[in-house]
Amino acid sequence: MAADLNPEWLSRLPSSWSYGVTRDGRVFFINEEAKSTTWLHPVTGEAVITGHMKTPDLPTGWEEGYTFEGARCFIK
């Protein structure tokens, strides 16, 4: 089961880890020490749902998303 978007997961990253977001909004985790990546949070073992999605009524190249605070935003 995937974890909901929550800023708490960011604070729980071990010191040698960071994260990235793909163009389609999927969060991945980077182990800087081991030079590896994973879709699963290194502590919880769960994937993270970002809330980004492609919406058919948006102009080409735009996506709808939500900030950590829950505000709606648009991403190009």
Residue scoring higher pLDDT (18 or 25) = 18
Q: Which residue has the tokens 């980004």?
A: 52
- What are 27-53's pLDDT values in tens digits? 889 999 999 999 888 998 888 766 555
pLDDT of 1 reads 40
The pair of three-digit structure tokens given for residue 13, joined into one six-digit string: 């990253």
With a threshold of 0.85, does the pTM exceed it?
no
| 17 pLDDT above the threshold of 70 | yes
On whether the CB atoms of residues 62 and 52 are closer than 8 A, the answer is no
Closest CA to 70 of 24, 12, 23, 5: 5
On whether the CB atoms of residues 21 and 27 are closer than 8 A, the answer is yes
7-75: CATH topology = Ubiquitin Ligase Nedd4; Chain: W; (2.20.70)
